[in-house]
Chain A
Amino acid sequence: MTGTWRPTPALARAVVVAALAAVAAVVSASPAVMVLGAPFVLLACMGLLHRPDSTPTVEAALDHRWLHEGQGTTSRLTLTDAGDVEHVARAMAPTPYVALHPPTGLVAGLADAVPTIEVGPRRWGRRVLGEEQVCLTTPWAGYRWGPVSLHGDALRVLPHTRRFESRAETPRPVGLVGVNRSPRLGAGVEFADIRPFRPGDRLRRISWRVSVRSRELHVTTSPSEEDSGVLLVLDALGDHGHSQGLDGEASSLDQSVRAAAAVAEHHIGAGDRVGLRVVGGDSGLVGYGAGTRHLRVLLDHLAGVRPGELPEGISERLQLRVTGGSVVFVFSPMLGPAIVTATASLVQRGLPVVVIDTLPPDATPRVPDGVDPRIADLAWRMRRLERDQVLAQLAALGCPVIPWRGAGTLDDVLRRLARRASVPQLAAQR
Chain B
Amino acid sequence: MRDLTRETRSRLALRAVVLVAPVLALEAARPDDVPHRWFVALTLALAVGFAAMPESPFGTACLGLVAVWWALAAGDGVPAGAIPAALLLLAAHVAAVLLSYGPPALPIGTRVMLLWLRRGAVVAVAVPLLWLLAVLVDGQPEPPGIWVAGLGCAIVVCVVAATAVSTRQEHA
Contacts and interface: CB of A to CB of B under 8 A. Distances in A.
B142 to A, nearest CB: 9
A71 interface: no
Interface in B1-55: 6, 25, 54-55
| Interface size range of chain B in the complex | 35 or more
Contacts, number: 192
Given A13-B60, A33-B67, A19 B157 contact: yes
Contacts of A135: 101-102
A408 to B, nearest CB: 45
A353 B80 CA distance: 92
Contact of B96 (A10, A22, A32, A34): A10
A91 B169 contact: no
A31 B134 contact: yes
B130 A35 contact: yes
Q: Is the interface of B mostly helix, strand, loop or mixed?
A: helix
Contact of B108 (A11, A18, A24, A108): A108
Interface string B131-147: 10010011000000001
Which among A21, A43, A135 has the greatest number of chain B C-beta atoms within 10 A? A21
Contact of A4 (B83, B137, B171): B171
Contacts of B112: 87, 108-110
B89 A20 contact: no
Interface stretch (A137-145, A169-177, A179-187, A242-250): A137-145
Contacts of A51: 164, 168
Q: 8 closest pairs, A vs B, by CB?
A: A22-B154, A31-B134, A24-B71, A89-B102, A32-B74, A19-B158, A9-B55, A28-B71
Interface of B: 6, 25, 54-57, 59-60, 63-64, 66-68, 70-72, 74-79, 82-83, 85-86, 89-90, 93, 96-97, 100-103, 105-109, 111-112, 115, 119, 123-124, 126-127, 130-131, 134, 137-138, 147, 150-151, 154-155, 157-158, 161-162, 164-165, 168-169, 171-172
Interface of A: 4-44, 46, 48, 51, 87, 89, 91, 102, 104, 106-110, 135, 137, 140-141, 143
